[in-house]
Chain A
């Protein structure tokens, strides 16, 4: 039941509880209770919306930054990550296996703003030994959704046996 609810709201977080109830053959109250429970236990952490900013008047730049850090005795990478994810500009932070340590995704209004953040805030942090910044040129697909999906009219015939 929980898994089915999660699958449904991960595709459409605005779906009504009554609809989830109908689709899962349960009741609205039951669905509301399950969702509340998952919110409380932080299984559901939020309900953001996927926006294609390219189709608005707002300018947005996304950059992916690879960071190498010197982990600190008694705190490992977590403390360093915390210093980074507390910045509002930071969208996501991941600890990585492989050639570098942290992936940081930044969203800013302009390239200049992002560059300033990297040079002034990130690279100057104690324990950060190097950064490599990559600007995103185009987003094709995010969160499982193709951004510029041309919805072709279905080729299916309207009535078939």
Chain B
């Protein structure tokens, strides 16, 4: 028989998180700080609207780009929160989660051999999506001493004449890093000067704890060269509804929509109705969750300090990224031992790029009581380790 598989797909490594998921799911009483989704239920008024849409028999396709009222509400929202102005008709469409948007943008924009600058540590799907779109990922290793922000110099050093797209994954999963308006301005200037496009993944934009999120698309000269990815999963605790959206210049959006139309058809109809309610009446839910995440973040930072775990203070998303370098173990080894010895699951930093070595991703999408229990285990584990200078 002939080889049934594509030589493009087979070399792609499965996600490093998979291994931990497999071990954990075999344990009955494992506790976990390894989850990348909110612990809150979707607010009831949003769920109720989804249920109502089912009762009303709204069980058909929507237009490829999504419900008109949803697209309009998305535009209102982006304007009132981040000062981004898009035409709902030509510059926005609704996707199946933010992940679809990432895939579509790369497929619509890349030709074979185009280089994509990918700051890491960052979310697991950028690199395979670049490869699948025939692009060449060029990794920029973010540094702890820069608080895992992208610096102008790092960007300049990585640009070649094949560079086409820069991925901007802020607020960042797994580090929790954010970038301020000032810091983004430096990056934006380079992008304009070197004629780069930007794929800005802003799925955690509502979860910042030191001032409002700034979208790079709102900076001078950037709107026409930026695709903004956002969605409902993190801000409204709607991960399972699979709903996101993309915005950008019409010329790119039009081509992305074409792929979406043939590959997906449209995002789930009931999720779209629920999302309209989320955008119209959900601001206070978001605020409540943000306050709660921030309290947990404060709590973790203080506990880490007390147990002697080094960690830069992150101001976004719901992750902290402590360094375990002083224990003389690899991230994988540390996480595996922690899981075996204390039944506590965390994700090794290396799941998000090789430069995550020496770090762990710890999620605080958990109640304070859950965090407390987990920290007892973590503290006990650390107290058994020897610090190696």
Contact = CB atoms under 8 A, between A and B. Distances in A.
Contacts of B173: 161
Contact of B298 (A7, A22, A157): A22
A19 B30 CA distance: 25
B39 A154 contact: yes
Interface string B1-41: 00000000000000101001100110000101011110100
A22 B21 contact: no
A159 B302 contact: no
A144 B334 CA distance: 41
Nearest to B17: A161
Contacts of B35: 156-160
B296 interface: yes
A23 B345 contact: no
Given A158-B25, A159-B21, A159-B347, A23 B32 contact: no
A159 B298 contact: no
A25 B298 contact: yes
A140 to B, nearest CB: 14
Nearest to B306: A22
B345 A161 contact: no
B296 A157 contact: no
Contact of A158 (B21, B296, B351, B368): B21
**Which of B15, B32, B123 has the most C-beta atoms of chain A within 10 angstroms of its own C-beta?**
B32
Interface in B120-138: 123-125
A36 B37 CA distance: 38
B299 interface: yes
B295 A23 contact: yes
20 contacts: A4-B295, A19-B368, A22-B299, A22-B303, A23-B295, A25-B301, A156-B35, A157-B21, A157-B25, A157-B35, A158-B21, A158-B35, A159-B20, A159-B32, A160-B34, A160-B36, A160-B37, A161-B123, A161-B124, A161-B125
Interface of A: 4, 7-8, 19, 22-25, 154, 156-161
